[in-house]
Amino acid sequence: MDNVKLIWLNGQWLEQESAVTNVLSHGLHYGTSVFEGERIYNGNVFRLHDHSQRLIDSAKMLGFDLPYSVDELNHATKELVTRLDIQTGYVRPVAWLDDTSLAMLPSRNKVNVAIAAWNWPDLFDEETRTKGLRLGYSKWMRQHPKAAPVAAKAGGNYLNSVLAIQDVRGKGFDEALLLDFEGNIAEATGANIFFVEGQKLVTPIADRFLNGITRQTVIHIANELDIDVEQRRIQPAEVAKFDGAFLCGTAYEVLPIHVIGDFEFDVPTLTRQIIDQYQTLCVQGWE
C-alpha cells in the first residue's frame, strides 16, 4: 500500500520496505495469524483497548501468546498514529508465527507482532451510505464453530469471506450474506447484520461467528436509546417481514442494506438514528 509510511514491528520503527517476514512463516502457510481492524477519528483510535485485548484473546484461541500486553499494544498504536499525524484513518495490528518450523504443531515458533496505520476516509461513497448495499446469498456457509475458532479474528478464518464475496460479486451484488450450518442467517463477509422490525432490532446470536466490537457498540447504543434488541436465529424466509436492515463493522461502520437477494428495503428512521448515534460516539470517543 502506497500510503503506509511507517510500521511498528516487534518493538522497532521501520519503513514499509524494511518491515518484512520470511516466506516460510508458519502464519503464511497455515493461517496461524490474528489481526484487528481499527478506525481513527480525530486522531484517536476508537475502542483501542477492546481491539488490543481481542488481538491477545484471538491469539490464545489459536494456541499462542503475544509477547506484548494490552497497554504496550495501546502505547505503540497511539505513538504510530501520532508519528504519522493521522486524523482519519485505519489501523491494522497483526500477529503471526514465524519460520522456526513448518510442522503442524508449531511448538517452537516465535510470535511476530506488527502494527500499520494509514489515512483512510470513508470506504463507501455518499450514495451507497444513503441508499445502502446490495447483498446476495453466498453458496459458501460460515464455518461451523466446531471446525474453526469463530470467536477469534484469525487470518485463516477469512478465506471463507474471500470466497463468499468473490461468489456474489460475480452475480452483481456488493456484499455476501452467509448462512450458518443450519441455514440461519449469520453475517456478511466482514460485518455483522441487524434487522429492523418496527421499533426494535433483531440480530443473529453471535455464537457462530465473530461478535464484532461494532456490533457490541450498536447494542450499547440501542440500550442507551431504549431500543429493544432481540438476539435469535433468523431464517432467510423471514427477511421479507422486516422493515429494514443494516451491516456494522469497523470498516463499514453502520451501513444500510438496500437489497438482500430479490428483496428490497427502504432505510427506516430507526436505522438512521443508529447511524447518527454511532457517528457521534466515534467522534466523541469511547473511553
Whether the CA torsion 182, 185, 190, 191 is positive or negative: it is negative
Place of cell 510470535: 111
Query: Residue 46 phi/psi, 5° resolution?
Result: -75, 125
The H-assigned helical ranges of 199-260 are 213-224
From residue 104, give the alpha-carbon distance in Å to each of 25, 75, 154, 233, 248.
Answer: 12, 33, 17, 35, 35
Query: Which cell numbers in the block locate residue 167?
Result: 461468489
Cα angle 41, 159, 279; round to 5: 20
- Active-site position among 78, 110, 153, 241: 153
Cα R_g (the chain), whole angstroms: 19
- CA gap 71, 194 in Å, rounded: 32
Q: DSSP characters for 84-145?
A: HT-SEEEEEEEEEE-SS--SSS-SSPPEEEEEEEEE---SS-HHHHHH-EEEEE-SSPPPPT
Known catalytic membership, residue 153:
yes
Q: DSSP characters for 261-274?
A: TTEE----HHHHHH
Count Cα atoms within 13 angstroms, Cβ side, for 138: 27
**282 contacts 41 by C-beta, under 8 angstroms:** yes
* Residues recognised as catalytic: 153
